[in-house]
Amino acid sequence: MLSEKIYKLRKNSGLSQEQLAEKLNVSRQAISKWESGTAVPESEKLVTISNYFGVSVDYLLKDDEEDKGKDTDSIVEEKPKMIAGIIICIAGIVSMVIWGLLSIFSPESSDQMGESSMITIDGNGIFLILCVVAIIVGAGLLLKSKKK
């Protein structure tokens, strides 16, 4: 039921009715009526709700058996995974760019890392591998959060 889904999404996000009302630009009473089932959001507010919580309007409106099996906890938990994926990707890319600039403008620091490495791959290779792994892990998290 729509009212239950709005309630669960709000609760799982840790928001009060007043906080959600502020985010959606409606009154707290409107949220209360939606959650109690005494009123239904207008279509434009349904779109706003679906965008805010990262769910489809279909999910909000349909009472199919497949929707009843969906766990709203897992839907809300996807945002942190997506954010972590973005951060890891960006960190890998930024690290790779910084290392590249250091190698160009300060080759002696690059040589020192290569000489002190206990692994046969020189220091540049190790750092490059770590950057690529960070980018791949971040991209994996992003793709995993988009699939659900």
What is residue 95's predicted lDDT score, i.e. its pLDDT?
79
State mean pLDDT over 118-131.
61
Whole-structure pTM value: 0.45
- Residue 69 pLDDT > 60: no
Residues of the chain above pLDDT 90, percent: 1
Question: What pLDDT is stored for residue 76 in this prediction?
Answer: 54
DSSP string, the chain: -HHHHHHHHHHHTT--HHHHHHHHTS-HHHHHHHHHTSS---HHHHHHHHHHHT--HHHHH---HHHHT--HHHHHHHHHHHHHHHHHHHHHHHHHHHHHHHHHH-HHHHHHHHHH-SSSS-HHHHHHHHHHHHHHHHHHHHHHHHH-
Higher-pLDDT residue of 85 and 37 is: 37
Q: Mean pLDDT, to the nearest integer, of 71-92?
A: 69
Q: Which of 23-27, 94-98, 103-107, 116-120 has the lowest mean pLDDT?
A: 116-120
Using a pLDDT cut of 70, give the percent of the chain over it. 72
